[in-house]
Amino acid sequence: MRCTWLSAVTLGTIGALGCAGARHAGPTLVTRAACAPTERWDDRACVPRRATAALAESEAAIKAADTAAALAALDRAAAEPLAWDDHVQMWEGRGLARAYEAEDQPTPATEAAARAAFDQLLAIDPTHHISCGQNAQATRRFERTRAELADRAPRALEITWPRDSTVGAPVPIDLEVVADPVGVLTSATVYLRTRGESTWRAADVPLPAPGQRARIRLPAIDARASTALELYAIAHDRAGNDTLVWASAAHPRDVPLRFDPPTPWYRTWWVWAIAGGVAATGAAVTAYALTWSPSDKIGGTVGRAVAP
């Protein structure tokens, strides 16, 4: 009886511990060293960004009203995934170059090309403004495109986490694409570090479809006091170009992590459960012993002896 009960307690304890572990089930992100701002990750290593020279060349060509040279330089810049600032500059330059073409040759095709470039520019930078020093006709085309798209919802990414995360356990993070009308939020790079560290770790994750939410788990932090994870993220389009910056390295978000000192083994619930079960079993045996009494009759049969 006692062995059966102890087996049940042991199995129940294992089951309960298994359920507790299941709350943290699921893949935990594998991080890598973050690349420097002048580098990008090519799925194997950090490599130098090479678009800066081509973008500078395109800017000089636009100032000289040489649209052919500007577009050729912009094509070279777009041959690799661009950082957010470079991506914005690339689409602004492409829009201006196409607007100059539309000014020289006003056809439906050239007008459509200019509008498409400005549309993409506003998709990744909805608050963008073009300098008044640019061509007045090109600036008016940009502002006309902005007015036409005024009612379009800007792309938006939301990252949330529970408020009871603890040291020593993976940290669940929810990613939600709130809006993505032009389809520029395809994946993201999540950057994280423990408060007080000077270097960042990074992990690449796919983003869910607009209106949906995906959960990821950041690696557990080993610490002996309450601390926090610092966090920011950069979203990318299908080509790997940066399209949205959520927080930043200079101004990251904090994910508080509470430190719970380990409970001494003799205070854990399963020890008291076993102790209580043993006590209950002992009480039952004692009660059985106290209430049991021998019978006042002796069993058996009586027969007549036969003389030899």
Q: Is the pTM of this model over 0.95?
A: no
For the cut 90, the answer to whether the pLDDT of residue 45 exceeds it is yes
Last residue of a domain, one of 127, 148, 169: 148
Same domain as 163, residue 107: no
Q: What is the model's pLDDT at position 7?
A: 44
190 lies in the same domain as 143: no
Q: What is the C-alpha radius of gyration for the chain, rounded to an integer number of angstroms?
A: 35
Q: Do 246 and 113 fall within a single domain?
A: no
Domain boundary among 148, 181, 210: 148
Among 148, 174, 192, the domain-final residue is 148
Q: Is the pLDDT of residue 3 over 90?
A: no
From 34-48, 239-253, 294-308, the region with the lowest mean pLDDT: 294-308
Give me the mean pLDDT over the 80-105 stretch. Answer: 96
Count of structural domains within the chain:
2
Domain assignment present for residue 136? The answer is yes
Q: In whole angstroms, what is the distance from residue 61 CA to residue 54 CA?
A: 11
Considering the domain boundaries, does residue 44 fall inside one? Answer: no
Shared domain check, 87 and 55: yes
d(CA 168, CA 219): 9
Together in a domain, 222 and 246: yes
Residue 192 placed within a domain? yes
Domain for residue 268, yes or no? no
Q: Rounded to an integer, what is the distance from CA 89 to the centroid of its chain? A: 27
Is the per-residue pLDDT at 19 higher than 70?
A: no
pLDDT at 279: 61
Do 28 and 177 reside in the same domain of the chain?
yes
Q: What local confidence, expressed as pLDDT, does residue 18 receive?
A: 44
Residues 61 and 142 both lie in one domain:
yes
The pLDDT-based confidence of 76 (bands split at 50, 70, 90) is very high
Residue at 171 is within a domain: yes
140 lies in the same domain as 160: no
Residue 83 located in a structural domain: yes
In a domain, 2, yes or no: no
Q: How much is the mean pLDDT over the chain?
A: 85
Q: Look at residue 296 and tell me if it is in a domain.
A: no
The string of DSSP letters for 180-211 reads -TTS--SEEEEEEEETT-SS-EEEEEEPPPTT
Judge if 127 and 172 occupy the same domain.
no
Residues of the domain holding 172 = 24-34+154-257
Are 175 and 30 members of one domain? yes
Q: Is pLDDT at 11 greater than 90 in this prediction?
A: no
DSSP labels, 226-269: -EEEEEEEEEE-TT--EEEEES-SSSPEEEEEB--PPPPGGGSH
User: How far, in Å, CA of 139 to CA of 102, rounded?
Assistant: 12
Lowest mean pLDDT of 29-33, 151-155, 170-174, 274-278, name the range: 274-278
Same domain, 28 and 164: yes
Using the predicted structure, report yes or no on whether residue 203 has a pLDDT greater than 60: yes
How many Å apart are CA 155 and CA 94, to the nearest integer? 21
- The residue written with tokens 């950090």 in the block is 46
CATH number at residue 242: 2.60.40.10
Per-residue tokens: 195:
């408060």
**Same domain, yes or no, for 123 and 174?**
no
